[in-house]
């Protein structure tokens, strides 16, 4: 059994109990097609949104990327991306600070 698959199983269990970090990790696994999951931006966006609702900066950044690129069934929306980057940047997320400056 691969390490990615074992991680995936832990994240799924934690996400089922509402853990925001686990939802963010699942979003990343779907965005990248890791752990034996097919690459699926729509499922990634759904998991990122659940983590964003709990204020997780990494999820705000990742969902911002999907809005900026118009992926995951989301419209390409620089304003939505900037809003999410700003939320994450205010919490110290360096990647969001960089993307916000570039946007």
Q: What is the pLDDT of residue 46?
A: 98
pLDDT in tens, 39-48: 999 999 999 9
Domain residues for the domain of 46 are: 3-102
pTM, entire model = 0.94
Q: Is the pLDDT of residue 37 over 60?
A: yes
pLDDT in tens, 47-98: 999 999 999 999 999 999 999 999 999 999 999 999 999 999 999 999 999 9
Q: What is the pLDDT of residue 4?
A: 87
CATH number at 97 reads 1.25.40.10
72 Cβ contact list (under 8 Å, min separation 6): 41, 42, 44, 45, 66
Query: Considering its fold, how many domains does the chain have in total?
Result: 1
Contact 93, 61 (CB under 8 A): yes
């Amino acid at each position: 059994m691969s390490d990615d698959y074992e991680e995936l199983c832990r994240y799924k269990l934690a996400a089922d109990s509402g853990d925001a970090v686990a939802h963010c990790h699942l979003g990343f696994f779907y965005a990248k097609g890791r752990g034996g999951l097919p690459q699926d931006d729509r499922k990634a966006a759904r998991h990122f949104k659940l983590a964003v609702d709990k204020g997780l900066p990494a999820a705000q950044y990742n969902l911002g990327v999907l809005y900026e690129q118009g992926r995951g069934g989301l419209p390409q929306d620089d304003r939505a991306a900037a809003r999410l980057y700003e939320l994450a940047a205010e919490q110290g997320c360096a990647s969001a600070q960089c993307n916000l400056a570039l946007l």
